[in-house]
Amino acid sequence: MDVAAELAEAADRNAAGRPERSLTEADQFLADLATILQQLEDDHAPLGLKYQMASKVLIGKTFESDRAPFQDFMDLIRCAMTLFILAIVTAPPPPDT
């Protein structure tokens, strides 16, 4: 299950516990974030953009791209992608069948 679907389900679960089944402000934030992240995922948006949009929805502002934690997060993503690419490039070829 992807993150957007999990967030939407969390908002729905929270609303289900109340007789009026209405969304609280926090539930609405989760539902909005789920919608935004799903659209970004469908559009194959970069991970950094998804991270910034999540911040905007949840705390009302984006991260400063040249400071922690955004800079650290992007460094970690670049490192992971480099390791992933190296693993593919250096992997032995599959055996012939």
pLDDT string in tens for the chain (97-residue length): 466 667 667 666 665 665 555 668 877 878 888 888 889 999 999 988 988 888 888 888 998 888 888 888 889 889 999 999 999 889 888 888 6
Rg of the chain taking only CA atoms, in angstroms: 18
The pLDDT score that the predictor gives to residue 43 is 94
The pLDDT score that the predictor gives to residue 83 is 93
* Inter-CA distances, 37 with 42, 79, 86, 91, 93, Å: 8, 23, 29, 33, 36
The pLDDT score that the predictor gives to residue 1 is 47
